[in-house]
Structure 1
Amino acid sequence: MSTKHCLLLLLLHLLAIIVLTVSAFPLEREKSLAIIREINRRGPYLALITVFPTEEYAFFSSDPFINDSKFPYVDLSGRRFRVGMVEDKKVIYVRCGVGMVNAASATQQMVDIFNIKGVIHFGISGNTNSSLCIGDVTIPKEFANTGLWDWLKSNETIPENDVAVLNIENYNVPNGGYNSLGRIGYRAEQFYSEGGEPNSAQLMLWFHVTNNWLQLATTLQGMKLERCVNSSLCLDTDPKVVIGLRGSTANTFVDNASYRNFLFLNFGVSSADMESSAVLMTSLSNGYPAIIFRGLSDLAGGQNGHNTVRLFGSLAASNVAKVVLQFIKLLPNEDHFQF
């Protein structure tokens, strides 16, 4: 074989390696999309979204989920979307990951890629309302993103569109005096939606869950929930289902009594989490109904001593999963599904 032929073969070999390397991911993606097309033909589905493993374990440990026999799951962008049935309803489940970016990203994937008809989001959260208790499950009527801030100097004017003000020097110890951390003005969201004008955002603070679903959820009041993590760790009172309050979301794990009180007094919220408003806002922006369930795992800093999320997180997750399963059971059959 001539030197020219050897060089040509070598070049072709190198080109083949490059093509295979470059095309490996698109080919895998195309395989997933082919599966999704087949999955969607069997829809539509309810979208179920949790946040982290404790919640996922609580949901699946009661064996409510029957995997699709042919396509039990599909992997996209590092997330596993599980396909199956819960209480005779077709569902697609995903664990989104902690924080608002993860929550919005996974929800947008769900509504863009799969043939769904509504979103049910559930997990645990901090309790910012002293009339509620650890272990309770709250089904709020609306959520706000309390993580959009204008952080200003102490003498700066708060923008007129801001909805609440946190003057940090009010919390000086001892009281009085100048605090260089200044003040925080809370903004409303810019909401883009299918029903709005393109490139024209509506300023919104409160995002409402779908009213028909919330009304259906009122029948869950009085459900018996678990009180004990194990034989030696129990709550002092029986947990309850509470419907129609307000919730807050921000990329902040709240474990501070003063800030907890600020959220309750200024926004009237009873729970604080890191995903719910992102899931809700994304669902509504795309025109899909949504409802949120949160199990209260801790007092968001209102407790004496250490945060209780590690003690009661699993119990809160189990209780909220129990309520969600009952809600899915109450939903009408596929042919009569109403929002």
Structure 2
Amino acid sequence: MRNHSGVILLAFVILVLGICRAYGAISAATTQEIEKVNEKGPYLGIIVPNMFEMNPLLQSPSFVADLKVPYLEYFGRRFRFGKVENEKVIIVMTGLGMLNSGITTQLLLTLFKLKGVLHYGIAGNADPQLQIGDVTVPQYWAHTGLWNWQRYGDGPNDELALESNGDYTREIGYLRFSKFQNGSENGKTVDNFLNNVWYQPEEIFPVNGVPEVRQHSFWVPVNKHYFDVAKRIEGMKFQRCVNSTCLPRSPKAVRVKSGSSSNTFVDNSAYREFLNSKFNVTPIDMESAAVALVCHQQHIPFIAIRALSDLAGGGSAVSNEADIFASLAAQNAVDASLRFIALLVPQLEFLHKAGSDS
């Protein structure tokens, strides 16, 4: 009888474990580790796209890893715990692109108790008035890779497919491909079968909204308080040389109006100029808007710091831009982020104390 009961119990355990694996449930052991971590929270989340951008932070004397729980691995992500400038932080790498960044940000916000999110990395530059190595802090981010690609033969005054359902809109604007072609016949511009792409806002579902009732968002603002704090890093001095190759001037930090993200590595001067003139974009990357959108829906304070590694599409006086200066830009982004955290911490402590006294 005991053997029979043991077999039944073993079968039940195997079944439960199988269900947990099949449905992605968090194991009991992982849940306990997360609970222990959250008892020490809340944390500032630091989200980084790639390892070469994260390594300068991990190697910095400003980062002190937690001795008891240095990291937790879950769903292909490694969440590192420690302190930066005496602020408790969780550092996580996303990987390339909008999907990876959105998933990682949502995991971070779902699993851990956070007070805010800092995202940093390198980016292409759409503003020729700035230089490689400069550090930018945009006030707004947009996902500029969500398009409605218009049927050939239709024009700006024609209704877009599914526009009447509210799925798409012409409010934001469009890119007309024929404006960027060289071909002509009999003195007239050759028609372009690619026609127009219309830029679209994201559908979002805020945590305090009605489930399955969408809202739309194109420009996502960073946290106002974080943006105010970032003004104080504008006087920083940054590295300007990689070995014997130096930039014309020392890089600077600057707050800018907007940045854009999409699943596209932009190395095209015509598209760079379009983004800058149409949307007043400075940094162009592949992750920030995804992080911004998730934080916006979850009402988590957010800011992104991006150092410029190249003038997208070329055209600067510096040759082999990204190949030479990506490491310098990554270090400048880390230096700016460390300074930002150092400035942010006393204010967070003051706000927390004021909230406790009220």
Q: TM-score scaled to structure 1, two decimals?
A: 0.90
C-alpha distance 42-166 of structure 1, shift in aligned 2 (>3 A): same
C-alpha distance 284-274 of structure 1, shift in aligned 2 (>3 A): same
1:274 corresponds in structure 2 to: 286
Q: Distance in 2 between matches of 1:279 and 1:337?
A: 24
Q: Report the CA distance between 1:265 and its aligned residue.
A: 1.1
Q: Distance in 2 between matches of 1:269 and 1:195?
A: 30
Structure 2: stretches of 5+ with no match in the other structure = 164-168
C-alpha distance 173-143 of structure 1, shift in aligned 2 (>3 A): same
1:213-250 deviation line (CA, Å, top 9, x unaligned): 100110111100000122x1211111000113210010
Q: Is the contact between residue 73 and residue 83 of structure 1 (CA under 8 Å) also seen in structure 2?
A: yes
Q: Is the contact between residue 176 and residue 195 of structure 2 (CA under 8 Å) also seen in structure 1?
A: yes
Moved more, 144-153 or 192-201: 192-201
Paired residue type of 1:336? F
- The yes-or-no answer on 1:248 pairing with 2:260 is yes
Runs of 4+ with >4 A deviation = 14-21, 23-28, 304-307
1:71 corresponds in structure 2 to: 69
1:5 corresponds in structure 2 to: none
1:3 corresponds in structure 2 to: none
1:114 corresponds in structure 2 to: 112
1:62-91 deviation line (CA, Å, top 9, x unaligned): 232111121111001011000111101100
1:175-194 deviation line (CA, Å, top 9, x unaligned): 41111122111112222212
Q: Report the CA distance between 1:27 and its aligned residue.
A: 9.4
Paired residue type of 2:313? G
1:264-299 deviation line (CA, Å, top 9, x unaligned): 111110111001011011011001100110010011
Paired residue type of 2:211? P
* Secondary structure of residue in 1 paired with 2:337: helix
1:1-339 to structure 2, matched below 5 A, reads 22=18, 25=21, 29-158=27-156, 159=160, 161-162=169-170, 163-175=172-184, 176-230=189-243, 232-303=244-315, 308-333=321-346, 335-337=349-351
Q: Is the contact between residue 255 and residue 307 of structure 1 (CA under 8 Å) also seen in structure 2?
A: no
Q: Is the contact between residue 47 and residue 91 of structure 2 (CA under 8 Å) also seen in structure 1?
A: yes
Q: Distance in 1 between matches of 2:330 and 2:351?
A: 27
Moved more, 298-307 or 173-182: 298-307
Q: Is the contact between residue 300 and residue 307 of structure 1 (CA under 8 Å) also seen in structure 2?
A: no
Q: Is the contact between residue 256 and residue 282 of structure 2 (CA under 8 Å) also seen in structure 1?
A: no
Q: Is the contact between residue 174 and residue 199 of structure 2 (CA under 8 Å) also seen in structure 1?
A: yes
Paired residue type of 1:259? Y
Q: TM-score scaled to structure 2, two decimals?
A: 0.85
Identity %: 38
Q: Is the contact between residue 87 and residue 345 of structure 2 (CA under 8 Å) also seen in structure 1?
A: no
> What's the RMSD between the two structures over aligned residues?
2.7
Paired residue type of 1:155? G
Q: Distance in 2 between matches of 1:99 and 1:208?
A: 20
* Secondary structure of residue in 1 paired with 2:281: coil
Q: Is the contact between residue 144 and residue 277 of structure 1 (CA under 8 Å) also seen in structure 2?
A: yes
